[in-house]
Structures are given as structure tokens and as C-alpha cells.
């Protein structure tokens, strides 16, 4: 059974065929004698009752012919007059039909003009569509470039992270290797010392047996005191190193953080601005353009539809009137002719509907493209959010890695410092003859007083305190060579000195103690010192021993006669951003220990030197002088003011009021302080000669 569309199509074909038949029948006669002028296309031709006239004349002509054939013999005169009248009517009918054809052509031309306008509008909207498409492609290219830049930044952060991980692994391997080498060298040195000690123990075996019981009783306590001393010393080193590292890295970290934050805020603002621009374009401009296009076409189609509907309504009313009139006269012919104009009107209406649907189909891809672009924009927003999250995560990982690297650097710096110190001390021990000394030091660190008693073989004495620490010195002559040695050697020497000096108290007047002495295994420290007085040896300090700075570096002595009278030196250096070291008679060094690459202008800074809290001798730096970070400068005394070449002398800093920085008199307490422009003590160096 055929569908509705097929039926409708068949009806349209039938109506079109009937219309063609009517047109072929109503063609004007070629031999018409009508002399009525044909109106031009600009003249208005009335179309009312034209169809009725055509059909009536056609019927009249047909019936007339039949009548003439039947009544010709009888009514010849009437027949001629009738033919003449019919001919006039036929001419009038031809004129009217010609007018109808001209009106139809005029409507056709108007239709074509309207079609041209529609085509022009289509071309215009196509151009607008192309321009919008080009704008969209340009913006999409910009967006793709930004995405590529984000990908490059992400790749850069990943590479930086991998590089940091590699550096951290190399740093760990290096620290592990240095530790292994240090422990191996230290073990070999201790084994050599142990062998030497065994040779000495053979001579002292008898005294060792006598003191064996006492040494066993004191061994645990000595080990505890030694461990406590080492812990405190390590803690002191850690605090000093941590302070230096924090000062040097704090500003760098702050600058890096501010720079990273500024870069991130800039990128974030750029992305936000771009997002707002895209959102404005997609949500406002494109919507307005599509809305305007739709509205224009809808208005155009609506107006055209209204015009056509009005025209067709009037035409249908006319046709209905003609059909009703014609049906009253000839019903049979009305049936065959009334359907043709309605089919034509329906066909034209369908064509217009198809045209409207075609226009909607043409603009549907643009709407689909807008929806697609909106989806792409949402995907780009999600990608940007994901990249922001990834960027934040990478920043967190980089911060964690930076902290881990800082911890590793701190550990490496501490180990390197200790290794350098041990290496210097071992070199000195290998070049000098061992001597027996005794160090009894009372150190106050962080308001906690710790009383320590150490007996060393290789001249152990140098003790370094922090700014808030105080030092109570015992007037025992000691050699300033080492602060670290083997615990076994300490105990052995303690036993030897106690056994040698157990019954001797002849030189107890030369030993004076000004501090409270603790009780060790029921025996006061004074009695121990008195027993050890006989074995105390005053050793003159060599030039190389005097040239060791607090950092373990060998100082370069320029004056051969400096410190030749001194024997034992007890130093107290306040560690901080600035250090005073390489103290000689002819010069001292001021070290800018800042590791955060901060140069220090020394305008208004002074160096104050006092001896035994007496008169102050000062030196003021020039106003334009700047001490670079991680560098040191020498300040010479007036004794070496003119020594050296003229170029060197010209650039020197010389204290004309100070004859010598160090003192060579026994018992002198020399204090050197570095004061800033506000009078704050930035570094201090003290020494006491006995």
C-alpha cells in the first residue's frame, strides 16, 4: 500500500500534467485578428474573472460550432452574425489571455528578483560564516600555542626534577665515599698510634698493673664523660653550621619563592584573561551572530510566507468563486478544471517550504560547529585546570627536593669540615713529637655548665665556645695542638701520669685552680691535679701550630718573629656571619662568612683592640669599602705599614694606632672586637698567654 508521501507525489504529478494540458489549450491563436494593444510589463493588468471568461468563451465556441453545423441551411444570416460576434469575443478573450500571460511573466520576474536577493543574502551569510570560521581558527591556533608552551614548561620541570634527583644521588655517593675513606685513614692512624702505645706500655707495665683496678673503676665514667663531651661538641658544630646555612640560604629561598610566585601569578592571570576572552567570544558574540542570522531569516521567511499565503488565499478565493459560478453552468467541466490552480499553489508552497528547510540545513552546521567549539573550550578549561594542578604538584616536589638537597648539603658540609679538621690534625701529629699534657676545661654552653677532665698524649687543649658561653680557665700549662684524640690513649695517659705522680706534691704551688672541682670516684679534682703537677710540661708552640684557624685551614705566617715568646694560647671566637682569624702581630683577617652572596658595606664599622681590659685602640674602615661575600680582608698594623711594594702598600688597610695585633707578653689577655655602625659586636677574638 503506498505511503502518504507517494500519494502526495502522485497527486502533484497529476496536477502538473493537468496544468500543462490547460496551458496548451489556452495558447493564443496565431492568426488572430485582434488589434488590441498588448500591455507592457510595467502596466497593471486586472486578473479578475479572466479564468471565467476563458472557460466561458471556450464553451461558447464549442457549442457554437455544433449549432452552426446543425442550423446552417436554415439560418445563414444569423450564423454569419453569430460568427462575427464570436470572433469579436474570441479576440477579446485572446487579449485578456495575453494580459494574463504578461501578468504571469511579471510575477515570474518578481519571483526571480526575489530569488536573486535570497542568493545574495546566502552569499553574504556564507562570507560571514567564512570570516567567523577564520577568526575561530586563528584563536584556536593561539590556544594551541599556549598549550604547547604549557607542555614545554611541564617538560622543563620534569627535566629539572630528574636533574635534581641525579645530583642528590651523586652527592650521597660522594658523601658515602668520603666517609669510607676517612674511616679507613683514621683506623690506620689509630692502629699506628696503638702500636706506639704498646711499646710504651711495655716500659710502664708494672705501674699499669698497680693502677689497673682503679682504671677499671673509672673507665665507665670516663667513657661517659668523653661521650658527653663529643655529643656537646657535635651539637655545637651542628648549631654553628645550621646557623651559617640558615643565614646563607634564607634570603636565596625567599627570592626564589617570590620569583616563582610572581611567575605563577603572571601565568595564572594570563590564562584567566585568555579564558575570559574566549568565554566572552563564545558566549556573547557567537550567540548574538547566530541569533541575528536566525532572526533575519525567520523574519524573511515569515514575510515571504505571509505574502505568498495572502496571494494564494486571494487566488484560491477567486478560483473558488469561478468554480462555483462555472459549476452552476457546467458541473462536468468544472470538475476537470478546478483542481489545476490549487495543485500549482500547493506545489509552490512546497517549494518554498523546501527552500526554508534548505536554509535551515545550511545554518545547522554552523550551530553544530558552535556546539563543538563550546565543547572544545570546556575541554581546554579542564586541561588548564589539570595543568595548574600538575604545576602545583611539581612545585611541591621541587620544594621537597630542595629541602632534601639542603639537608644533604648541611650533612656534607659538616662531614667535610670534620674531615678537613682531622686531616690537618693528623698531619700535625705526624710531624711533631708527642708530648704529655693535661687539659682541664670547664665549658658553659647554652647556660649549662659541663665540667670535663681530659688527659691527652699529643697536646690537646683548644676549646671553642659560642657567644653565650663562658670559660673558666685553670692555670695549667697546656699545648694548643688538638681537641680530639683516641679515648684509649686518654685513659692510658691518665693511668701513666697518675702512677708517676701519685706520691708527689712538690710542685702543687705552680698549679692554681679557680673553679669548683667535681668529685671523681671519691677523689677531688684538686688532688688529681696535684698528683699530675710533676708531669706537666710546658711546650713552646711552633709557628705551624699557631697558624691553624678555626676552620682547619693553615694560616700563612708572614712575620718570622711573631709569637716566638708565647707558649700556650686559649682562644675564644664568636662564630657568626663575620669571623676574625689569622691573628698575627702584623695583621688580622676579617672574614665575611655569609653564604647567601650578600656583600657587606663597612661604612662606620670599627675594630677595637684591648689588652687586659686597658686602653682601646681602634681602626675605622673607609666609608666606601665593601667586603664581598665569602671573602676576607687583612688589616695591617703600623709596623708593616711600609713593607712590600708600593702597589701593595697603596691598597692596604692599615691601623696606624695599633703597633701589633697579637701580644707576646705572658699573662696578657688580648681582645679584638668587630663593631658595626650601630655599635653591635659582630665578631670577637680573645687570647690569653701564660
Would the pLDDT of 336 be above 80? no
Per-residue pLDDT, 608: 93
Higher pLDDT: 608 or 343? It is: 608
Per-residue pLDDT, 620: 92
Q: What are residue 199's phi and psi, to 5 degrees?
A: -65, -40
Per-residue pLDDT, 74: 53
Would the pLDDT of 210 be above 60? yes
Q: How confident is the model at residue 7 (pLDDT cuts 50, 70, 90)?
A: low
Per-residue pLDDT, 542: 43
Q: b or e along 419-442 (b: 16 or more beta carbons within 10 Å of the residue's beta carbon)?
A: bebbebbeebbeebebebbbbbbb
- What residues have CB less than 8 Å from 407, skipping those under 6 apart? none
What's the mean pLDDT in 136-143? 85
Over residues 396-450, the pLDDT tens digits come to: 888 888 787 877 777 777 777 777 777 777 777 777 644 433 333 333 333 333 3
Q: How confident is the model at residue 341 (pLDDT cuts 50, 70, 90)?
A: low
What's the mean pLDDT in 281-300? 75
Q: What are residue 519's phi and psi, to 5 degrees?
A: -95, 125
Answer yes or no: are the C-beta atoms of 506 and 485 closer than 8 Å: no
Residue with cell 500543462: 20
Strand order in the sheet with 437-445: 448-456, 437-445, 470-473
- Residue 296 grid cell: 533575519
Over residues 468-510, the pLDDT tens digits come to: 333 333 333 333 333 333 343 443 444 444 444 444 444 444 4
Q: How confident is the model at residue 526 (pLDDT cuts 50, 70, 90)?
A: very low
DSSP letters spanning 43-83: S----TTHHHHHHHHHHHHHHHHHHHHHHTTT-HHHHHHHH
What SS3 state is found at 465? Answer: coil
- What residues have CB less than 8 Å from 317, skipping those under 6 apart? none
Higher pLDDT: 608 or 554? It is: 608
215: left (phi over 0), alpha (psi -120 to 50) or beta: alpha
Q: 541-690, what's its fold? A: Immunoglobulin-like (2.60.40)
Q: Hey, where are the domains in the chain?
A: 437-539, 541-690
Over residues 636-687, the pLDDT tens digits come to: 988 775 555 444 556 788 888 888 888 767 778 889 999 988 888 888 888 8
Strand order in the sheet with 632-637: 578-581, 587-592, 632-637, 653-655
Per-residue pLDDT, 149: 82
Over residues 161-189, the pLDDT tens digits come to: 888 888 888 888 888 888 778 878 877 88
Per-residue pLDDT, 337: 47
Share of the chain above pLDDT 70, in %: 63
Answer yes or no: are the C-beta atoms of 656 and 638 closer than 8 Å: yes
Most confident stretch, 149-158, 343-352, 561-570:
149-158
Residue 163 burial (CB count, 10 A) = 11
Higher pLDDT: 450 or 233? It is: 233
Per-residue pLDDT, 674: 92
* Integer Cα distance of 553 and 539 in angstroms: 22
* Integer Cα distance of 372 and 578 in angstroms: 67
Answer yes or no: are the C-beta atoms of 547 and 557 closer than 8 Å: yes
Per-residue pLDDT, 276: 78
Most confident stretch, 93-102, 189-198, 518-527:
93-102
User: Does pTM surpass 0.75?
Assistant: no
Strand order in the sheet with 606-611: 569-573, 681-689, 669-675, 606-611, 617-620
* Integer Cα distance of 481 and 541 in angstroms: 8
Per-residue pLDDT, 594: 61
Over residues 40-68, the pLDDT tens digits come to: 444 444 444 444 444 444 444 444 444 44
* Integer Cα distance of 192 and 186 in angstroms: 10
Higher pLDDT: 343 or 464? It is: 343
Amino acid at each position: 500500500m503506498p505511503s502518504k508521501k507517494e500519494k502526495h507525489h502522485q497527486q502533484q504529478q497529476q496536477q502538473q500534467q493537468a496544468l500543462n494540458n490547460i496551458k496548451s489549450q489556452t495558447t493564443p491563436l496565431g492568426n488572430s485578428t485582434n488589434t488590441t494593444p498588448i500591455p507592457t510589463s510595467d502596466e497593471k493588468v486586472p486578473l479578475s474573472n479572466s479564468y471565467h471568461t476563458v472557460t466561458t468563451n471556450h464553451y461558447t465556441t464549442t457549442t457554437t460550432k455544433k449549432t452552426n453545423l446543425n442550423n446552417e441551411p436554415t439560418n445563414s444570416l444569423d450564423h454569419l452574425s453569430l460568427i462575427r460576434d464570436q470572433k469579436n469575443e474570441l479576440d477579446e478573450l485572446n487579449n485578456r489571455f495575453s494580459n494574463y500571460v504578461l501578468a504571469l511573466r511579471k510575477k515570474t520576474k518578481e519571483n526571480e528578483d526575489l530569488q536573486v536577493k535570497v542568493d545574495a543574502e546566502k552569499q553574504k551569510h556564507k562570507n560571514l560564516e567564512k570570516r567567523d570560521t577564520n577568526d575561530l581558527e586563528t584563536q584556536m591556533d593561539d590556544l594551541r600555542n599556549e598549550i604547547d608552551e604549557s607542555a614545554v614548561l611541564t617538560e622543563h620541570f620534569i627535566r629539572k626534577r630528574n636533574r635534581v634527583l641525579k645530583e642528590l644521588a651523586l652527592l650521597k655517593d660522594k658523601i658515602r665515599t668520603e666517609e669510607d675513606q676517612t674511616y679507613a685513614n683514621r683506623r690506620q692512624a689509630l692502629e699506628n698510634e696503638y702500636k706506639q702505645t704498646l711499646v710504651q706500655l711495655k716500659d710502664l707495665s708494672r705501674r699499669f698493673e698497680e693502677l689497673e683496678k682503679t682504671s677499671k673503676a673509672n673507665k665507665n665514667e670516663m667513657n661517659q664523660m668523653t661521650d658527653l663531651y663529643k655529643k656537646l661538641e657535635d651539637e655545637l658544630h651542628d648549631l654553628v653550621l645550621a646557623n651559617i646555612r640558615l643565614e646563607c640560604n634564607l634570603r636565596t629561598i625567599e627570592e626564589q619563592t617570590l620569583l616563582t610566585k610572581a611567575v605563577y601569578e603572571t601565568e595564572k592571570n594570563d590564562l584567566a584573561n585568555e579564558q575570559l576572552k574566549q568565554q566572552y567570544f563564545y558566549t556573547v558574540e557567537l550567540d548574538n551572530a547566530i541569533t541575528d542570522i536566525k532572526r533575519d531569516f525567520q523574519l524573511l521567511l515569515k514575510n515571504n510566507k505571509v505574502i505568498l499565503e495572502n496571494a494564494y488565499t486571494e487566488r484560491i478565493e477567486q478560483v473558488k468563486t469561478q468554480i462555483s459560478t462555472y459549476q452552476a453552468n457546467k458541473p462536468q467541466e468544472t470538475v476537470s478544471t478546478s483542481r489545476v490552480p490549487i495543485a500549482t499553489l500547493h506545489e509552490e508552497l512546497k517549494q518554498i517550504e523546501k527552500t526554508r528547510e534548505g536554509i535551515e540545513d545550511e545554518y545547522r552546521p554552523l550551530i553544530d560547529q558552535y556546539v563543538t567549539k563550546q565543547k572544545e573550550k570546556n575541554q581546554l578549561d579542564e586541561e588548564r585546570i589539570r595543568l595548574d594542578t600538575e604545576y602545583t604538584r611539581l612545585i611541591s616536589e621541587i620544594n621537597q627536593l630542595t629541602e632534601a638537597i639542603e639537608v644533604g648539603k648541611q650533612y656534607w658540609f659538616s662531614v667535610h669540615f670534620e674531615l678537613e679538621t682531622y686531616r690537618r690534625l693528623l698531619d700535625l701529629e705526624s710531624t711533631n713529637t708527642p708530648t704529655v699534657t693535661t687539659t682541664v676545661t670547664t665549658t658553659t654552653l647554652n647556660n649549662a655548665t659541663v665540667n670535663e677532665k681530659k688527659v691527652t698524649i699529643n697536646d690537646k687543649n683548644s676549646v671553642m665556645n659560642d657567644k653565650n658561653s663562658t670559660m673558666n680557665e685553670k692555670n695549667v700549662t697546656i699545648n694548643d695542638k688538638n681537641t680530639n684524640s683516641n679515648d684509649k690513649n686518654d685513659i692510658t695517659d691518665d693511668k701513666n701520669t697518675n702512677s708517676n705522680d701519685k706520691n708527689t706534691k712538690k710542685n702543687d704551688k705552680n698549679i692554681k685552680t679557680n673553679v669548683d672541682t667535681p668529685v671523681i670516684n671519691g677523689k677531688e679534682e684538686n688532688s688529681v691535679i696535684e698528683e699530675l703537677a710533676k708531669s706537666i710540661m710546658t711546650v713552646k708552640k711552633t709557628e705551624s701550630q699557631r697558624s691553624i684557624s678555626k676552620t682547619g685551614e693553615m694560616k700563612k705566617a708572614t712575620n718570622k718573629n711573631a709569637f716566638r715568646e708565647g707558649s700556650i694560647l686559649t682562644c675564644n671566637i664568636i662564630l657568626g656571619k663575620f669571623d676574625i682569624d689569622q691573628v698575627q702581630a702584623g695583621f688580622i683577617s676579617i672574614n665575611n662568612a655569609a653564604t647567601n652572596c650578600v656583600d657587606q658595606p663597612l661604612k662606620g664599622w670599627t675594630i677595637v683592640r684591648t689588652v687586659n681590659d686597658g686602653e682601646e685602640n681602634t681602626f675605622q674602615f673607609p666609608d666606601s669599602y665593601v667586603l664581598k661575600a665569602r671573602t676576607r680582608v687583612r688589616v695591617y698594623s703600623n709596623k708593616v705599614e711600609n713593607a712590600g711594594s708600593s702597589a701593595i702598600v697603596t691598597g692596604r688597610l692599615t691601623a696606624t694606632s695599633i703597633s701589633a695585633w697579637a701580644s707576646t707578653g705572658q699573662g696578657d689577655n688580648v681582645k679584638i672586637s668587630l663593631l658595626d655602625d650601630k655599635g653591635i659586636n659582630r665578631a670577637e677574638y680573645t687570647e690569653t698567654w701564660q
